[in-house]
Structure 1
Amino acid sequence: MNAPFWYLSRPSRVLTLIALAAALTILAGFPLSLNMLRFRENLAWVNHTNEVLRQLSATERALLEAESSERGYLLTADATYLSTYNEWKDAIPALLSSLRGLVTDNTVQQKRVDDLSLDIKARLEELARAVQLGPQRLADVLDILKSARTTQLTPRIIQSLSQLRQTELSLLEARQASADRSGIFATISAAALFVFALISATFGIFIFEHQRTIERERQLQEVQAQLFQLSRLTSVGEMAAAIAHELNQPLAAMMNYLRGSKRLLEGISDERIDKARDALDKAASQSLRAGEVIRRLRDFITQGEITPKVENARTMVEEAVAIALRVANDHTVRVAMQFDGSVTYVLVDKIQIQQVIVNLVRNAIEAMENTVRRELTVSTRAAEDGMVIIKVADSGPGIDPSVAPKLFQPFITSKRNGTGIGLSISRTIVESHGGQMAVDPAALEGTTFYFTVRGVASEKLQSAE
Structure 2
Amino acid sequence: MLGHDLNNVLQAAAAAIGLALQGGRLGPADSALLDVAGQALQQGAGMARLFLGQDIPRPCSSDGVDLAELVQEMAPLLRHAVAPALQLELDACALSGRVQVDRSALQRALVNLALNAREACAPGARLRISTDTCTLVVARPGRIPGRYGIVRVADNGPGIDPAVAARVFEPGASSRGPGRGLGLAQVRAAVEASGGFVDVQSSPRRGTCFLLALPSTIA
**Class of the TM-score when normalised by the shorter of the 2 chains:** 0.5 to 0.7
Is the contact made by 1:320 and 1:357 (CA closer than 8 Å) also made in structure 2?
no
Opposite residue 364 of structure 1, the aligned amino acid is A
Counterpart of 1:456 in 2: which secondary structure? coil
Match of 2:109 in 1: 356
Is the contact made by 2:162 and 2:203 (CA closer than 8 Å) also made in structure 1?
no
Opposite residue 105 of structure 2, the aligned amino acid is Q
Whole-angstrom CA distance in 2 between matches of 1:443 and 1:311: 34
Question: CA 1:377–1:443 in structure 2 vs 1: closer, same or farther (change >3 Å)?
Answer: farther
Match of 2:73 in 1: 319
Opposite residue 381 of structure 1, the aligned amino acid is D
Deviation at 1:361, TM superposition (A): 1.4
Cα-to-partner distance string for 1:29-51 (whole Å, 9 max, x where unaligned): xxx99xx9xxxxxxxxxxxxxxx
Structure 1 residues 329-344: aligned runs within 5 Å: 330-344=83-97
Counterpart of 1:383 in 2: which secondary structure? strand
Match of 2:200 in 1: 439
Deviation at 1:425, TM superposition (A): 1.6
Whole-angstrom CA distance in 2 between matches of 1:379 and 1:345: 15
Structure 1 residues 5-154: aligned runs within 5 Å: none
Task: Return the match for 2:99 from 309, 321, 346.
Answer: 346
Is the contact made by 2:191 and 2:213 (CA closer than 8 Å) also made in structure 1?
yes
Structure 1 residues 254-293: aligned runs within 5 Å: none
Whole-angstrom CA distance in 2 between matches of 1:379 and 1:390: 6
Opposite residue 96 of structure 2, the aligned amino acid is V
Aligned-residue RMSD, C-alpha: 3.3
When normalised by structure 1's length, the TM-score is 0.31
Opposite residue 199 of structure 2, the aligned amino acid is A
Whole-angstrom CA distance in 2 between matches of 1:419 and 1:397: 11
Whole-angstrom CA distance in 1 between matches of 2:98 and 2:203: 27
Deviation at 1:366, TM superposition (A): 1.9
Question: Which structure carries more relative contact order (alpha carbon 8 Å, separation 6+)?
Answer: 2
Deviation at 1:444, TM superposition (A): 8.4
Pick the structure with greater CA Rg. Answer: 1
**Structure 1 unaligned residues grouped into runs of 5+:** 1-31, 37-295, 461-465
Is the contact made by 2:129 and 2:152 (CA closer than 8 Å) also made in structure 1?
yes
Structure 1 residues 299-314: aligned runs within 5 Å: 300=56, 304-309=57-62, 310-314=64-68
Match of 1:423 in 2: 184
Matched, 1:377 2:128: yes
Match of 2:16 in 1: none
Question: CA 1:307–1:410 in structure 2 vs 1: closer, same or farther (change >3 Å)?
Answer: same
Is the contact made by 2:161 and 2:203 (CA closer than 8 Å) also made in structure 1?
no
Question: CA 1:375–1:441 in structure 2 vs 1: closer, same or farther (change >3 Å)?
Answer: closer
Q: Which has the higher strand share?
A: 2
Match of 1:366 in 2: 119
Deviation at 1:410, TM superposition (A): 1.1
Cα-to-partner distance string for 1:393-441 (whole Å, 9 max, x where unaligned): 0010101344222111111113534594511121011100100012025
Structure 1 residues 442-457: aligned runs within 5 Å: 445-457=206-218
Is the contact made by 1:391 and 1:451 (CA closer than 8 Å) also made in structure 2?
yes
Q: Which has the higher helix share?
A: 1
Counterpart of 2:192 in 1: which secondary structure? helix
Question: CA 1:421–1:361 in structure 2 vs 1: closer, same or farther (change >3 Å)?
Answer: closer
Deviation at 1:305, TM superposition (A): 4.8
Cα-to-partner distance string for 1:264-286 (whole Å, 9 max, x where unaligned): xxxxxxxxxxxxxxxxxxxxxxx
Question: CA 1:405–1:343 in structure 2 vs 1: closer, same or farther (change >3 Å)?
Answer: closer
Question: CA 1:443–1:362 in structure 2 vs 1: closer, same or farther (change >3 Å)?
Answer: same
Is the contact made by 1:321 and 1:357 (CA closer than 8 Å) also made in structure 2?
no
**Structure 2 unaligned residues grouped into runs of 5+:** 10-52, 136-145
Cα-to-partner distance string for 1:177-202 (whole Å, 9 max, x where unaligned): xxxxxxxxxxxxxxxxxxxxxxxxxx
Deviation at 1:335, TM superposition (A): 2.1
Cα-to-partner distance string for 1:226-267 (whole Å, 9 max, x where unaligned): xxxxxxxxxxxxxxxxxxxxxxxxxxxxxxxxxxxxxxxxxx
Whole-angstrom CA distance in 2 between matches of 1:443 and 1:455: 33
Whole-angstrom CA distance in 1 between matches of 2:122 and 2:203: 23
Question: CA 1:442–1:434 in structure 2 vs 1: closer, same or farther (change >3 Å)?
Answer: farther
Whole-angstrom CA distance in 2 between matches of 1:335 and 1:442: 21
Whole-angstrom CA distance in 2 between matches of 1:405 and 1:397: 16
Identical counterparts, % of pairs: 28
Deviation at 1:321, TM superposition (A): 4.1
Opposite residue 317 of structure 1, the aligned amino acid is V
Match of 1:24 in 2: none
When normalised by structure 2's length, the TM-score is 0.61
Whole-angstrom CA distance in 2 between matches of 1:442 and 1:333: 20
Equivalenced residues, count: 160
